[in-house]
Amino acid sequence: MDCPFCAIVAGDAPASVVHADDTAVAFLDIEPANPGHTLVVPRDHADGLGDLPAETGGHMFGVAQRVAAALRASVDADGIGLLLADGAAAGQEVFHVHLHVIPRHEGDGVVFRGNQTPADRDDLDELASRVRDHL
């Protein structure tokens, strides 16, 4: 397997690590949206969310919360954005699950919105029913 995040986790590739424990590693993104942009990855390889144990995902979110608090203090962030892209269509480029923790500043120009328009309530209710059927 040629996974850059597995190489970082193994210590075989350089990274600016901000947190490491038995389950997850957090390191600064090499192509940051803003200074302090951090990635939280599981130590065990998982291509996407469907491959990730729920306990590991919960742990990653807990790490992201701690990193977010540290980023607010260290880079004087006005806010924090969390982003996890699951699959190529969602923008995932490295197929090892990773949670972006992005410090935000008023007017920084970083945008995560598409062209949303208000949905019809009946359509939403029907879709919610289909989603519930798969839970």
Q: Give the start-to-end residue ranges of the domains of the chain.
A: 4-134
Q: Which residue has the higher pLDDT, 112 or 81?
A: 81
| Per-residue model confidence (pLDDT) at position 115 | 74
- Going from the C-alpha of 65 to that of each of 73, 78, 96, the distances in angstroms are 13, 15, 20
> Which of these, 97, 88, 14, lies nearest to 49 by C-alpha position?
97
- Is residue 98 flagged as an active site residue? yes
Q: Which residues pair with 102 in a beta bridge?
A: 81
Cβ contacts of residue 111 below 8 Å, gap of 6+? none
Which residue among 96, 98, 100, 134 is the active-site one? 98
Torsion of CA 23, 81, 37, 91, to 10 degrees: 80
> Which of these, 48, 133, 135, lies nearest to 93 by C-alpha position?
48
* Token reading at 43: 């130590």
- The mean predicted confidence, pLDDT, of the chain is 95
CATH 3.40.190.10 fits 4-134, yes or no: no
Q: CB of 8 within 8 A of CB of 25?
A: yes
Q: CB of 34 within 8 A of CB of 105?
A: yes
H-helix or E-strand spanning residue 25: strand 24-28
Q: Is the pLDDT of residue 1 over 70?
A: no
Tell if the pTM clears 0.95, that is, is over it.
no
Read off the pLDDT of residues 106-117 as tens digits, 9 standing for 90 and up.
Answer: 999 988 777 788
CA distance 6 to 56: 16
H-helix or E-strand spanning residue 6: helix 4-10
